[in-house]
Structure 1
Amino acid sequence: MRRARSLAVVGMLGVGAVSVISSTQTWIDVTLSDGAQQPLAVAGSDAIPVLTPLSLAVLALAAALSIVGPVMRYILAALALAIAGIVGVATAQLLFTMPVSATAATVAEATGISGGDAAADLVASMALTPWPAVTLLAQILLAAAAAFTLVTARRWQGSAGRKYRTAAEAPADGSRPHDAIDSWDDLSRGDDPTA
Structure 2
Amino acid sequence: MTRRPRSLAVLMILVAGALGVISSTQTWLVVTLASVEGEQLPVAGADAVPVLAPLSLAALALGAALTIVGRVLVYAFGVLTGLLGAVVAVASARVAIDTPVETYASTVTEATGITGPQAVRDLVSSTALTPWPVLTAVVAVVIVLAGVLTLVTAHRWTGSGRRYRQGVADDATESAGPGADPSRPRDAIDSWDDLSRGEDPTS
Measured against the shorter chain, the TM-score band is 0.7 to 0.9
Alpha-carbon offset, residue 37 of structure 1: 2.6
1:152 and 2:153 are equivalent in the alignment: yes
Task: Kindly state the Cα deviation for residue 191 of structure 1 after the two structures are TM-superposed.
Answer: 4.2
* 1:189 to 1:131, Cα distance in 2 relative to 1, 3 A: farther
Please identify the structure whose Cα radius of gyration is greater: 2
Question: 2:66 and 2:187 mapped to 1: Cα distance?
Answer: 32
Q: Which residue in the other structure is 2:136 paired with?
A: 135
Q: Letter of the aligned partner of 2:107 in structure 1?
A: T
Task: State, as a whole percentage, how many aligned pairs show the same letter.
Answer: 47
Q: Which residue of 2 aligns with 1:123?
A: 124
1:11 match: 12
Q: Which runs of 5+ in 2 are unaligned?
A: 181-185, 194-203
Distance 1:120 1:65 in 2: 44
Structure 1 regions of 5+ residues with no counterpart?
Answer: none
RMSD: 2.9
**Residues 188/70 of structure 1: CA separation in 2 closer, same or farther (3 Å cut):** farther
Q: Does 1:178 align with 2:173?
A: yes
1:71 is displaced (CA, Å) by 0.7
Quote the residue 2:100 is aligned against.
99
Which letter maps to 1:179?
Answer: E
Give, as a single letter, the amino acid of the residue that structure 1 aligns with 2:90: V
Partner of 1:178: helix, strand, or coil? helix
TM-score normalised by the chain length of structure 1: 0.85
Checking the alignment, whether the CA contact within 8 Å between 1:101 and 1:120 is kept in structure 2 is no
| Letter in structure 1 aligned against 2:174 | D
Query: What is aligned with 1:78?
Result: 79
Shift, 1:90, TM fit: 1.0
Q: How many residues align structurally?
A: 186
